[in-house]
Structure 1
Amino acid sequence: MSDVKIHLHQTDLPDGIDFGSSVAVDSETMGLNLSRDRLCLVQLSAGDGVCHLVQFKDGNFDAPNLKALFTNQDVTKIFHFARFDLAAIERYLGVTCNPVYCTKIASKLIRTYTDRHGLKELCKELLSVDISKQQQSSDWGSPDLSEDQLRYAASDVLYLHRMVKILDERLAREGRSEMAKACFDFLPWRAKLDIAGWDETDIFAHS
């Protein structure tokens, strides 16, 4: 990651940034309970070795440029485990992110030979890239993020575009592209269910 360019912005993206037709997105929060643990950081990349980080410090989630990007129907938002990030975005930015692609769901649909679908495992198998998850559990609410935190945050979005290409080829090969798209289309609603209190309930289950 020595040649990666990381730009840290406060509260919102600057005017004029163009991510093209798809943008890789991730988020960092204070914890995993979205009713308690606020959104701290959003990471974005066009897959070009450049990462833009938007930090939220003082409870200001206005972010008009970021919200416009998330609701732009001409830009696909690529996530790994989109369900959580979509819920965080909806809970704190107040917008429904659409359309979306989730590399974790795609992995589960075609990498049925393993139960290891984490980003680290996918990067290693599909791209021969070894990323560090050491900073995953750190204080993302700190007003001054460390260099290690910034580099970790960037690594979560830098490789998703390359991953999508491989996953899409395998989904097509196994005849599961349409199924994957239907799952992606439902994800914003799955996030809404999480926020509304059905996070631990499978409403499709018999019991």
Structure 2
Amino acid sequence: MTIAMDKITLHKGDLPDGLDLGPTVAIDCETMGLNPHRDRLCLVQLSSGDGTAHLVQIAKGQTDAPNLCRMVNDAAVLKLFHYGRFDIAAMYHTFGALAQPVWCSKIASRLIRTYTDRHGLKALLHELLQEDISKMQQTSDWGAAELTPAQQQYAASDVFYLHRLKEVMDGLLAREDRTEIAQACFDFLPTRAKLDLIGYPETDIFAHS
């Protein structure tokens, strides 16, 4: 499904003053690569679940976005992610804003969809919501001064469906009696992101050896 451009708003540097995205906000990030110490944050996309998406383009060297950070830090706002571990680390490294409380569809998927090893967002949306999204722009240049309509549509699709996905996956977690353990994982996720940033991306600190 292609998201109409009139459903997408692009902002430079920060969310506008006074924008209220409600108590539950879907968030995703685009970066220049997968190493937050090397690869800068380029875009933060958000949706309140109302069928619109807000994209915040982050400039090279930018270290603050007051309105965005206020929302990220707000304990009254639940932040929805897909693979939040990376996005939380990227925003914390760039702005010093640690997202919490959080919910993550990849963690939920690994807890309930043990019949498959396909836990990407595209697979989840196809199976659980019968929505098909394109991943063609995933590896495009997110540091470009001007983002193409295709890039904007791709970025929006990463947050557009997360509210609906959460509703379905929360039901599956409850069905499989894994709601409590999922919540414990979500609560730990910001700490897991901080461990990544200080040099423990692969080390299991709980291991005996």
Superposition TM-score tier, normalisation by shorter sequence: over 0.9
Equivalent positions of 1:42-191 (< 5 A) are 42-191=44-193
Identity of aligned residues (%): 61
Q: Is there any run of 5+ residues in structure 2 with no aligned partner, and where? A: none
> 1:141 and 1:28 mapped to 2: Cα distance?
9
Q: Which residue pairs with 1:193 in the alignment? A: 195
**Pairwise CA distance, 1:2:** 4.4
Deviation by residue 1:96-142 (Cα, 9 ceiling, x = unmatched): 11100000000111111111100000000000001000000011000
TM-score by length of 2: 0.97
> 1:200 and 1:177 mapped to 2: Cα distance?
26
| One of 161, 186, 208 as aligned partner of 1:206 | 208
Equivalent positions of 1:8-19 (< 5 A) are 8-19=10-21
Runs of 4+ off more than 2 Å: 1-4
Q: What is the number of equivalent residue pairs in this alignment? A: 207
SS in 2 for 1:42: strand
> Any conservation in 2 of the 1:11–1:61 contact (CA below 8 Å)?
no
**Pairwise CA distance, 1:201:** 1.0
**Pairwise CA distance, 1:3:** 4.1
SS in 1 for 2:199: helix
Amino acid at match of 2:89: A
Q: CA RMSD in A?
A: 1.0
Note closer, same or farther for the CA distance 1:2–1:138 as it changes in structure 2 (3 Å cut). Answer: closer
Q: Which residue pairs with 1:6 in the alignment? A: 8
> Any conservation in 1 of the 2:9–2:54 contact (CA below 8 Å)?
yes
SS in 2 for 1:43: strand
> 2:68 and 2:4 mapped to 1: Cα distance?
25
Amino acid at match of 2:67: N
**Pairwise CA distance, 1:202:** 1.4
SS in 1 for 2:94: helix
> Any conservation in 1 of the 2:26–2:46 contact (CA below 8 Å)?
yes
Q: Is there any run of 5+ residues in structure 1 with no aligned partner, and where? A: none
Deviation by residue 1:11-63 (Cα, 9 ceiling, x = unmatched): 10001111111000000000001111000000000111110000012322321
> 2:141 and 2:95 mapped to 1: Cα distance?
20
**Pairwise CA distance, 1:206:** 2.7
> 2:10 and 2:121 mapped to 1: Cα distance?
23
> 2:195 and 2:60 mapped to 1: Cα distance?
27
